[in-house]
Structure 1
Amino acid sequence: MNKYGLHGKLQATAGKGAYLAQILLEASKLVSTAIGCRLYLVSQDSSNPDAVWVTEVWDSKEDHDNSLQVPGVRELISQAMPLLAGRPEKGQELEVLGGTGLEVELAHIS
């Protein structure tokens, strides 16, 4: 069975990339409890510290959409929005065909 994937970049205002990444890492903890969440990976661009990438894998698009109802997720979204340097670009929607995974847990960004 194929999975639903998303991959996208969020550009923070100057100097706010680490704070945005922290908020997204908190979001990853919340959505890890959501039905169908297989991966929620937060990465910082090595050439642009204010660019934060999010890669997600879900059992279905419906599971992803339902994750917005997880308690606390909308609050984190409202904290992140003022940090963005503009409207978020639409991420790439992917049909995940397979591969291997590694469980990743990041405690914090220093």
Structure 2
Amino acid sequence: MTTSTKVGRLMAFTAKPGKGGDLAAAMLQVAEALRQVPGCELYVISQDSGDPDTVRVVEAWADEASADAALAAAANTTGPVSIEAVLGMLAKPPERIDLTTLGGVGL
């Protein structure tokens, strides 16, 4: 098997009750902004079909440095999709699972 430097993340964001749609819309704006970010290979937003206040993100990055650089740039962003704005929509801290991305369809 070939060793890969690609990294992946599975994120789960739990919105305040009844605010899952607002959170999903904000995260879709984040995803749109990431289209131009070097190293972002996949950033998929999904709303949990069993709990619409839970928004999940599947990420794949070329390497850890790309993921870190995007997060650092986001920390300096203001406006409706700033990190502070997204965190303000949450009922609890986001859950994050780090992965070593091996490959598959779309990568």
> What TM-score do you get using the length of structure 2 for normalisation?
0.85
Percent sequence identity over aligned pairs: 36
The residue number in structure 1 matching 2:62 is 59
Counterpart contact for 1:4–1:61, Cα < 8 Å: yes
Residues 61 and 72 of structure 1, relative CA distance in 2, 3 Å threshold: closer
Is 1:97–2:97 an aligned residue pair?
Answer: no
The residue number in structure 2 matching 1:10 is 13
Unaligned runs of 5+ in 2: none
Residues 69 and 33 of structure 1, relative CA distance in 2, 3 Å threshold: farther
Unaligned runs of 5+ in 1: 103-110
SS in 1 for 2:57: strand
Is 1:78–2:81 an aligned residue pair?
Answer: no
The residue number in structure 1 matching 2:49 is 46
The residue number in structure 2 matching 1:106 is none
| Aligned positions, number | 101
Paired letter, 1:17: G
CA RMSD of aligned residues (A): 1.9
Query: Any idea what the Cα deviations from partners look like across 1:17-41, whole Å, max 9, x if unmatched?
Result: 0100111100001112111010000
> What TM-score do you get using the length of structure 1 for normalisation?
0.83
Counterpart contact for 1:7–1:93, Cα < 8 Å: yes
